[in-house]
Amino acid sequence: MQVFILGPARSGTSITYYAMREVFGLPGDGESHVMPIFLRIIHSFYTHQQSFRGSEVLAQRLDTAGFRRHILEYIRAFYWSIYPAGSWVDKTPGDEAILGAVLIRQAFPAAKLICTKRTGVEVVQSFRAKFSSQFEEACRVWTATMDALVKTREVCSDLLEIDQFDMANAPDEVAQSVTDYLGAPEKRHALAEFFRHQRTDQLSSHDWRRRLTAAEAGWSDEERKVFTSTCGELMRKFDYSI
């Protein structure tokens, strides 16, 4: 079994990763960030080659599709060298990781892709506490990752999305969705118990039984305006209340 966990930072990628290791026994090496590297390489190759379009230069004879095939072969060889048994869990948060879902699917057609998500209010609050970031930066990070998820949905229909709120408040339902997706219904109870009792986000102090709102977050009026203008559209798209 090969599982790739994607999603915004502070959205439950870690708890899902640990669940895959403990409940399913999958080997992993913490944060990965492998696929975004190769996504950047392929993008740089393509955009730089296209800059010579219409010119009589040797670079125009490079085979873009062939280069991508070589990259995919290298990715497969790399993962098999690290995990010779052929099973693993790979966790990478961020927008580039989500956009790399297509590359993952091309490299490993049988891989399972799980994307965690969380309301922007909670992510911004937790992101700032974890990384000491500026408010606007935290807003932009959440927006970029959720926008990437919207785009990835269009080209990767078998992506499983799970919300951190549901992990805490509906562990049985989330466990059933995950185990059905992974084809391991026998693990449902153990996974539900894991979600029910484990917490990796120790930076959020609000009541986990309900979603944090901007009014409760203690933000200034200016911060609330920034959040609404930056994140408002995607908050509505994902049915999150501000």
- Containing domain of residue 32, as a range? 2-119+158-206
Sheet holding 2-6, edge to edge: 88-91, 2-6, 112-117, 160-163
Helix (H) or strand (E) holding 5: strand 2-6
Provide the number of structural domains found in the chain.
Answer: 1
Where on the phi/psi map is residue 13: left (φ > 0), alpha (ψ -120 to 50), or beta? alpha
Cα–Cα distance for residue pair 191/46, rounded to 1 Å: 42
Structure tokens at 73: 């072969």
- Asked, for residue 151, whether it belongs to a domain, the answer is no
**What integer pLDDT is reported at residue 124 of this predicted model?**
95
**What integer pLDDT is reported at residue 210 of this predicted model?**
82
The pTM of the full predicted model, rounded to 2 decimals, is: 0.92
- Asked, for residue 169, whether it belongs to a domain, the answer is yes
Q: What is the mean pLDDT of each run of 10 residues along the chain (242 residues)?
A: 95 94 95 95 90 82 90 97 97 96 96 97 92 94 97 93 94 96 96 86 68 91 95 96 90
| Contact by Cβ (8 Å): 218, 36 | no
- Asked, for residue 214, whether it belongs to a domain, the answer is no
- Asked, for residue 212, whether it belongs to a domain, the answer is no
| Contact by Cβ (8 Å): 146, 120 | yes
- Asked, for residue 115, whether it belongs to a domain, the answer is yes
- Asked, for residue 17, whether it belongs to a domain, the answer is yes
**What integer pLDDT is reported at residue 206 of this predicted model?**
66
- Asked, for residue 72, whether it belongs to a domain, the answer is yes
- Asked, for residue 47, whether it belongs to a domain, the answer is yes
